[in-house]
């Protein structure tokens, strides 16, 4: 199951386009919101949070978030905004949660292989790299395992074939393809198409103006 990280924050008095000013001070603007806390502007230590944000399953991580030294609040990351050009962190939204109520989030898939088809010369194509799940906060996994070892050339795994941990429900379309093993030529063509799509301009995160 996912780990819990303790993190300290301070109330934020600078409202508006303060991201650059806070960055010069080593701070990152954020907000904590939820039915039990309302909406509270806060700021974090930028360096410390950058280390946390580099984790693969950060959106499924539980936080004990303490603001101004007060009693920690159980929270999760709802959204992280990045600069669309530099990719640097701009803003973080924390969502206060209740441990006895299910939450929805996104977790990565952990592919276990190689498959029998790959050993025979086939190419593995990944259609999904993450899935949407629902679970109680304490049951959130860091990832969902995908065992591909039995796949032969021509075989596919669908969302319905995934076996999430106990207490976890996958919300994606059961008929969606997770991965498949194809012949080398088809695999190369599919990879070239994927590379061409990836080369198109794409906005990373939301270039939102700081609240």
Confidence of residue 176 (pLDDT cuts 50, 70, 90): very high
**Strongest mean pLDDT among 13-27, 48-62, 145-159:** 145-159
Q: Which region among 33-42, 142-151, 153-162 has the lowest average model confidence (pLDDT)?
A: 33-42
**Strongest mean pLDDT among 14-28, 79-93, 98-112, 180-194:** 98-112
What mean pLDDT comes out for the span 26-52? Answer: 90
The domains of the chain are located at 4-96, 103-198
Rg of the chain over Cα atoms, rounded to whole angstroms, equals 20
How crowded is residue 157: how many other Cβ atoms within 10 Å of its Cβ? 22
Which fold, 4-96? Ribosomal Protein L25; Chain P (2.40.240)
With a cut of 50, say whether residue 203 has pLDDT above it: no
Which fold, 103-198? RNA Polymerase Alpha Subunit; Chain A, domain 2 (2.170.120)
Integer distance in angstroms from the first to the last C-alpha of the chain?
34
Vertex 96: Cα angle to 92 and 97 (nearest 5): 130
Q: Is the pTM of this model over 0.85?
A: no
Model pLDDT for residues 93-116, shown as the tens digit of each residue: 999 999 999 999 999 999 999 999
With a cut of 60, say whether residue 208 has pLDDT above it: no
Are 21 and 12 spatial neighbours (Cβ–Cβ below 8 Å)?
A: no
With a cut of 70, say whether residue 186 has pLDDT above it: no
At 54 the pLDDT is 80
């Amino acid at each position: 199951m996912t780990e819990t990280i303790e993190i300290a924050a301070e109330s934020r008095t600078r409202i508006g386009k303060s991201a650059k000013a806070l960055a010069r001070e080593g701070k990152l603007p954020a907000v904590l919101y939820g039915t039990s806390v309302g909406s509270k502007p806060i700021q974090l230590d930028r360096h410390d949070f950058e280390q946390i944000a580099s984790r693969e399953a950060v959106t499924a991580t539980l936080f004990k978030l303490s603001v101004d030294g007060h009693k920690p609040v159980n929270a999760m990351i709802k959204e992280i905004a990045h600069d669309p050009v530099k990719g640097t962190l701009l803003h973080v939204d924390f969502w206060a949660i209740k441990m006895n109520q299910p939450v929805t989030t996104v977790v990565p898939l952990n592919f276990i292989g190689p498959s029998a088809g790959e050993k025979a010369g086939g190419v593995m194509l990944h259609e999904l790299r993450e899935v949407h799940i629902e679970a109680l906060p304490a049951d959130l996994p860091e990832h969902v395992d995908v065992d591909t070892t039995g796949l032969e050339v021509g075989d596919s795994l669908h969302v319905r074939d995934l076996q999430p941990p106990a207490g976890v429900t996958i919300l994606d379309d059961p008929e969606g393809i997770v991965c498949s093993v194809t012949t080398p030529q088809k695999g190369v063509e599919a990879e070239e198409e994927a590379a061409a799509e990836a080369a198109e301009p794409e906005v990373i995160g939301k270039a939102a103006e700081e609240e």
